[in-house]
Structure 1
Amino acid sequence: MLKAQEMMALFNLAIEDYHIKDHVDQEMKNPFPMDSLQEMLYQKNWIDTVQWHLEDIIRDPAIKPQKALEIKRRIDASNQDRTDMVEQIDDAILSLYTDVQVQSFARLNTESPGWAIDRLSILALKIFHMNVEAQREDVTPELLAKNQHKLSVLKVQEEDLCTAIDQLLDDLATGKRIAKVYRQMKMYNDPELNPVLYQNK
């Protein structure tokens, strides 16, 4: 099983690969074997990275309404892809622990490993972009200091989250904690559950 810092390294690789061209329509070239956990993690972060930049684009004050609608639809689709990838990652990780004897004192975890890893992927993006802001030369010393402080806090958060993920995975492996995957059952983009969609069939 990968350690959280190894996952972080995969996320950083995906972020660096994206920023070679830095374009939301570029093709992803995943370097890892199909259906491996590494391949899933790289793809997960690529989805997050593209969405990060779509979120930037849609906040352009000069964006035209039709373009904004197009980007909003892409963000909605990306959110579904993100959720699907988290569940794939959960399935892959939890399948490793199906034969583990659960301890009588085991506690149910509040989130699955996949959703904790999702937070780590987003954190990798925050650190990458805050690092850019912490090196700008076109801002006041006060803003630069503020950005550098934020970056230092994010680095502490990275260390803490990596530790927590490793502890969770270790506890799952030894039966000290229980994690369940509840399928997200998103309603807003389901034509059978969103009234706006099913009433307009």
Structure 2
Amino acid sequence: MNATSANDIFRQSIRDYHRADHVDTPIDNPYPSGDFAHLLYRKNWIDTVQWHLEDLIRSPDIQPGELVAVKRRIDQSNQDRTDVVEIMDSVLYQQFAQITPKPTARMNSETPAWLLDRMSILQLKIYHFAEQTDRTDVSDEHRQRAAQKLAVLQEQEADLARCFDELLDDIQTGNRYVKVYRQMKMYNDPTLNPVLYKK
């Protein structure tokens, strides 16, 4: 697995979502459940739905009850996103388990899966800024600003791809290592969130 294949899967997920373009569209993951590609597709699908939930919650016409419901969906989505990233890190950690880092190896603060998380969200930004450059209901200035931002995002895409491939290569050759720290979120845990456990 490399950055090119990961980004291809992220783009596929985004295209598939936008066929219906609705937050309640059920995921139809085309990859076998045991494949890492399955996790990448699932990860991006979560990101894509959440992207559009974030749009919905900012509607000036949203009713208070709907706003609360969407906010709770976003909270759950954040938890789902974290869970999938941690599963991906566990899979990658197992793949690298037999590699002994060199004495000179440097620790990387970001794990491969959290870098994939950034790459997934970046593909969403690229998709939606590209949409803005094609709009016919806005000024030329709007399209030009969007095109300038799109160019920066595409440069970032290339940079993150290189960083990801270099990180995997460095881990495999023992030149870098990572530690997998589980996210210790408290707000969804009824035993840790005081608003929940004091009820």
What is the TM-score normalised by the length of structure 1? 0.98
The offset of 1:27, in angstroms, is 0.9
Runs of 4+ in 1 over 6 A off after TM superposition: none
**How far apart, in 2, do the equivalents of 1:188 and 1:116 lie?**
24
The offset of 1:35, in angstroms, is 2.2
Q: Which runs of 5+ in 2 are unaligned?
A: none
The offset of 1:155, in angstroms, is 0.4
Counterpart residue number, 2:45: 46
What is the TM-score normalised by the length of structure 2? 0.99
Deviations 1:34-57 (CA, angstroms, capped at 9, x unpaired): 121000000000000000000000
**How far apart, in 1, do the equivalents of 2:14 and 2:48 lie?**
7
**How far apart, in 2, do the equivalents of 1:134 and 1:182 lie?**
40
Deviations 1:37-92 (CA, angstroms, capped at 9, x unpaired): 00000000000000000000000011000000000000000000000000011111
**How far apart, in 1, do the equivalents of 2:34 and 2:66 lie?**
35
Deviations 1:75-110 (CA, angstroms, capped at 9, x unpaired): 000000000000011111121111112100111101
**How far apart, in 2, do the equivalents of 1:185 and 1:153 lie?**
33
Q: Which runs of 5+ in 1 are unaligned?
A: none
Aligned-residue Cα RMSD (Å) equals 0.6
Counterpart residue number, 1:85: 84
Give the letter for the 2:122 counterpart: L
- Secondary structure at the residue paired with 1:155? helix
Give the letter for the 1:136 counterpart: R
Provide the identity percentage. 51
Counterpart residue number, 1:25: 24
Q: Equivalent residues in 2 for 1:1-201 (5 A)?
A: 2-200=1-199
